[in-house]
Amino acid sequence: MGKLSQWPPHLEDLLNACPGRYWQEIAWCVGSPSLMADLPDHWGQREDESARMEFTTWLETADRTGFDMAGERVDTASLRLGHRFERNIQAWLAFHSDWTVLAANHVIQLGKRTAGEIDLIIRNEVACVHLELAVKFYLSSAGSSQWETWRGIDPVDRLDLKLAKFQQQLRLSEDAAVAQIFEEQGLHITERRAWMKGWFFEHYSRIARPVLPKNASPNCHVGWWCHEGDWEQIWSSAGQWVLLDPAHWLRVRHDPTDVHPLHSNPLLPQGKRKSNAWMVVQVENEGGTYKEINRGVVVKNHWPEV
């Protein structure tokens, strides 16, 4: 494990301390900025600084005991991004010195009715937490701060709908019938929190002064997006551009063998996309590692039409 040069550590410092790419992926999932700042009612958000501080403890313990991530790397390689993100958080918590995972992907049955599913129930010495997780990539469709104008690569996915779903999921553990079941199992939920990590992408024509969603975290990840027809205006042979497979969207540092160079031709390979979109990154080579300078999404020309 590398040495931490500052305290509390920045994400960059955590990434430097990680001994491998998969560890860096977990560090990003835990220590990257939240997409949204605190919202009222049932929304809860761990402070990014606290999460990064807890990750350093985890990293030191894992390094000291020789924790091997190889099995997890194989298990998560083919998972969809949302499930991969959840598994990374679970791997961190499962080896954490303070937290105990009591339930993961816990389906709530009320008689013959399925009431819902809880991502995680975790406990430490002072709290029992219902935690919901998501990793999202939202694009601005209108240069507006209104949540409904921020859409996923699949435009059916909208920020306003996801936040409403978070509210619904977090209320599940407050339902009287569900709370009674938990009490019978010796569980008393004391806190409800939600983690949503990922990226907001503003249109490239507005990226110099991006309009972010209302209540966006002030330090959230921000990239740009463009239609396929506009890509040639952005691509430049002067920069070093690579294409990311979906399996590596949760990383901000890349092994050269894991990416697809776009050196000499702005044409995007049709067989290297996900849901009619390409994740492209401008990088710099630092000691054999590609570090991201900026990230963008190139979508088909009909986006955001469904």
| CA torsion, ordered 145, 148, 150, 152, to nearest 10 deg | 170
Q: Tell me: the pLDDT tens digits for 174-190?
A: 999 999 989 888 889 99
Residue by residue, DSSP assigns 187-246 as ----EEEEEEEEEEEEEGGGTTS--PPTTB-TT--EEEEEEGGGHHHH--TTS-EEEE-G
Q: Closest by alpha carbon to 154, among 4, 3, 302? A: 302
How many whole angstroms from its chain centre is CA 274? 17
Q: How far apart are CA 182 and CA 110, in angstroms?
A: 12
Who's near 125: CB < 8 A, 6+ residues apart? 98
The enclosing H or E element of 174 equals: none
Read off the tokens for 233: 């205006």
The token pair at 235 is 């691509």
193-243 per-position pLDDT tens digit: 899 999 999 999 999 999 999 999 988 999 999 999 999 888 877 788 999
Instruction: Please give the chain's pLDDT, 306 residues, in tens.
Output: 344 444 446 788 888 878 788 888 988 998 888 899 865 444 444 555 666 667 776 676 666 555 555 444 444 555 789 999 999 998 888 777 788 999 999 999 888 888 899 999 999 999 999 999 999 999 999 999 999 999 999 999 999 999 999 999 999 999 999 999 898 888 899 999 899 999 999 999 999 999 999 999 988 999 999 999 999 888 877 788 999 999 899 999 999 999 999 876 677 888 777 778 999 999 999 999 999 999 999 999 999 997
CA-CA distance, 204 to 211, in Å (whole number)? 12
Percent of the chain scored above 70 by pLDDT?
83
| Domain spans, the chain | 11-299
Reported as a single tens digit per residue, the pLDDT across 104-124 is 999 998 888 888 999 999 999
